[in-house]
Amino acid sequence: MRVSIDTLDRKRLREQFVDQGAFVYVDRFVPGELTARLAESARALLPAVNRNYLPGHKQGGSVSRHTIDRLAPHIAELYRSRVLVEWLEAITGDKLLPSPQDDPHAYALYYYTREGDHIGWHYDTSYYEGRRYTLLIGVIDDSSCRLDYELHTRTPGASPVADSIQYPPGAIVLFDGDKLRHRITPSKAGEMRVSLTFEYVTDARMRPWRRFVSNMKDAIAYFGFRQVFNVFGAKGRPSAGPDTA
Ligand SMILES: O=C(O)CCC(=O)C(=O)O
Ligand SMILES: [Fe+2]
């Protein structure tokens, strides 16, 4: 990780991040070996994927941080990697904290494996007191899915700028979740795409009502009620079964 990160021009990327309204795309970021390991884990976690379908908004699969902790802890280590977090702090200009232990979204895998899997236009809204940054990492992409996005939609006095990318394995996208309007276009039959998301916050406090709204959203749109509300208690089940509600 260090070798790859150290060769990047931090100053230029920081400038890009600011100019683009808290958004930057880096097409070669994660070293090849690490990307291959992530892809291997993503395939191994296929039986643990929780499928979701929200008509008109979202269709796809997810694996939460709780499942990653159990079955692919090296991803959790990467999330906390000092080298990575320091780099993210340099680019965002903020002191970053990991999302709290009970946030199933802190690190998660998204799967687009069936025809029509997609996510409609949205922001990665922060329900926390402070900002919430999303780091997306390309893991597997044998698909035609695109990340469509609009910059500056909430920058006073600026005109929105629309663009679109297909970020490949090893590439990253970093943005302030409240500032980037984005979507993932629907996959076609026989395609497969997996992305890894890391969420960092600047203030880990959340008001109880917002926590409830955030949990409901995560349970319905992503991970299922069992993962989000831990209905079966902290004892956990030893199985690698799906995170179904
Ligand atoms: O899969 C991706 O690349 C992004 C997914 C996304 O935007 C989300 O789940 O909020
Ligand atoms: Fe998103």
CA angle 38, 42, 47 (to 5 degrees): 155
Q: Could you report the per-residue pLDDT of 149-189, keeping only the tens digit for each?
A: 999 999 999 999 999 999 999 999 999 999 999 999 999 99
Closest CA to ligand 1's atom 2: 195
Domain ranges, residue 73: 2-229
- Whether residue 238 is contained in a domain is answered as no
**Do residues 231 and 219 make contact, with C-beta atoms less than 8 angstroms apart?**
no
- Whether residue 73 is contained in a domain is answered as yes
Main-chain dihedrals φ then ψ at residue 24, nearest 5 degrees:
-150, 145
How many angstroms separate the alpha carbon of residue 94 from the centre of ligand 1? 22
Minimum-distance ligand to the CA of 169?
Answer: 1
Ligand 1 atom nearest the C-alpha of 183 is: 7
- Whether residue 36 is contained in a domain is answered as yes
Indicate the number of domains in the chain: 1
Least confident range from 49-53, 152-156, 182-186, 216-220: namely: 216-220
How many angstroms separate the alpha carbon of residue 235 from the centre of ligand 2? 31
Q: Select from 50, 181, 182 the residue to mutate for testing ligand 1; criterion: most ligand atoms less than 8 Å from CB.
A: 182
Q: Could you report the per-residue pLDDT of 20-30, keeping only the tens digit for each?
A: 999 999 999 99
- ipTM associated with this complex: 0.99
How many angstroms separate the alpha carbon of residue 132 from the centre of ligand 2? 12
How many angstroms separate the alpha carbon of residue 49 from the centre of ligand 1? 15
Query: The CATH number of the domain where 29 resides is what?
Result: 2.60.120.620
Report residues whose beta carbon is within 6 angstroms of any ligand 1 atom: 110, 119, 124, 136, 147, 182, 184, 195
- Whether residue 104 is contained in a domain is answered as yes
- Whether residue 76 is contained in a domain is answered as yes
The set of residues, in sequence order, having a beta carbon less than 8 Å from that of 83 and lying 6+ positions away, is 1, 2, 5
| Placement of tokens 């600047």 in the chain | 202
The pLDDT, as a whole number, for residue 139 is 98
- Whether residue 245 is contained in a domain is answered as no
- Whether residue 217 is contained in a domain is answered as yes
Q: Mean pLDDT across the chain, nearest whole number?
A: 91
The pLDDT, as a whole number, for residue 232 is 52
The set of residues, in sequence order, having a beta carbon less than 8 Å from that of 115 and lying 6+ positions away, is 186, 187, 188, 189, 190, 191
- Whether residue 234 is contained in a domain is answered as no
